Amino acid sequence: MDDNDLVTLARMPPEEAATKLKAVGELDVAREITIKAQNQRDAFGPFDALPFIAKPWAYEAHVFGYIGGDAAAVMDIRPVAMVSPEKSLIGQRVIVSLDYFLVASYPGAGRHSVLVNFYADHRLPDAVEAVSYSTVVRVRDGDRLATINLPIFIGLNVAKSGLTIRCTTVNVKSEDDEAFLSFLNSDAFKVGLKLLEHAQPAIVPFSAMTVGVTRGIAAKSRNVAVQDFTIGLDFGGAPTGARLSLGSYVAVQVPTEARRSWSWSDWVFDGARGEIVSKDGSLLQYNAIVLGVSLLEE
């Protein structure tokens, strides 16, 4: 899936963002964007020069952290660049799971149906399979996914270069798409994408289908892409990179100014509550996704 295939709300032209927001009931924000677009044609994005819009869904940037080690009542979250890489994972097969999904706020009122898509490269001895998998999360603002350890990729091969995973989310408000989302939310689609050590002819068309569905749903007027991030995990190299190890990887959607000053030393994972909290106990007020990486037991 190319970077230009799916455009999040934060990267849309102002007029397009305003149209989307009107369709889902965010009338005040849509009106302000329209006024700004009329007076400032050279705006970079729909929320530039609107600093008073403190909406978690209006941000484009993400910060990434890592939770590792034995389970405890309180677990530190470390920067991904400070993770000790597990080079023993090279050539192994791992499970990537959705362990935490927090919606601080998504566009529109009521319960959100969120189409979540994952993309990765499955490296085989003589080929690379581009694999994709979709699941549906139904939550309200302030809620997190009730289910943890939801398998996404089962048996993903770890190459010498590590793993690269992309995640996108689409907030679905169109009633016409609810039937399809219910199909994706069935038990048959909650078992993850099982990958083998050799090529599977059905994988390519299946992955292409999920990509096409995501594009089609996101393009409809009452549906909007909210989050889009890619995390590349390797075994060393540039000191600013991200390292691969068994554990959990945290992605938090934040404003650009918060990204510059973000410090994971201010945050922990409260195992007893199952929440990401500040060290003074305050709940996280941003949209967040946690992906688990565990070893596949053959």
| pLDDT band at residue 146 under the 50/70/90 scheme | low
Q: What letter represents residue 72's amino acid?
A: A
Q: What is the mean pLDDT of residues 79-99?
A: 95
pLDDT recorded at residue 52 = 44
26-30, 61-65, 172-176, 222-226 — which one is most confidently predicted on average?
A: 61-65
Q: How many CB atoms lie within 10 A of CB 250?
A: 24
pLDDT of residue 77: 97
Say how far apart CA 94 and CA 100 lie, in whole Å.
18
pLDDT for 130 equals 85
**How many residues are recorded in the chain?**
298
Sheet holding 267-270, edge to edge: 74-76, 267-270, 275-278
Domain that holds residue 196: 59-295
And the tokens for 217?
């749903």
Q: Per the domain annotation, does 161 fall within a domain?
A: yes
- pLDDT at residue 36 above 70? yes
pLDDT band with cut points at 50, 70 and 90 for residue 184:
low
Residue 126: burial class (beta carbons within 10 Å; 0-12, 13-18, 19+) = exposed
Domain membership flag for residue 235: yes
Q: Token pair of 43, please? A: 């705006």
Distance, in Å, from the CA atom of 135 to the CA atom of 144, rounded to the nearest integer, reads 15
Contact present, 56 and 286 (Cβ < 8 Å): yes
Confidence of residue 176 (pLDDT cuts 50, 70, 90): low
Q: Is residue 106 part of a domain?
A: yes
CA distance 25 to 90: 48
CA dihedral 29, 33, 36, 38 (to 10 degrees): -130
Please give the pLDDT value at position 270.
92
- Average pLDDT value for the chain: 84
| Domains in the chain, number | 1
Q: Which of 99, 127, 8 is nearest to 56 (CA)?
A: 8
Instruction: For residue 41, tell me if it sits in a domain.
Output: no
* DSSP label of 7: -
Separation between Cα atoms, residue 171 and residue 161, nearest integer Å: 33
CA distance 294 to 244: 11
Give the residue-averaged pLDDT of 271-280. Answer: 90
17 part of a folded domain: no
Question: Angle, to 10 degrees, between the axis of helix 27-39 and the axis of helix 14-24?
Answer: 160
CA distance 285 to 105: 8
The torsion region of residue 49 among left (phi > 0), alpha (psi -120 to 50) and beta comes to left
Residue 213 makes CB contacts below 8 A (sequence gap 6+) with 115, 134, 180
Cα–Cα dist 258/261, whole Å: 5
Burial class, 277, CB count within 10 angstroms (exposed 0-12 / middle 13-18 / buried 19+): middle
* Helices assigned H by DSSP within the chain: 14-24, 27-39, 178-184, 203-219, 256-261
Q: Which pLDDT value is given to residue 244?
A: 97
Would you list the DSSP string of 65-112?
EEE-SS--SEEE-EEGGGPPP-GGGTT-EEEEEEEEEEES--SSSS-E
Within a domain: residue 31?
A: no
Three-class SS state of 190: coil
Out of 110-114, 219-223, 289-293, least confident range: 219-223
Closest CA to 296 of 85, 151, 119, 128: 151
173 part of a folded domain: yes
d(CA 227, CA 252): 10
pLDDT reading at 27 higher than 50: yes
CATH number at residue 282: 2.60.40.150
Structure confidence by residue, pLDDT tens digits, 217-251: 777 768 889 999 999 999 987 888 899 999 999 99
13 in a structural domain = no
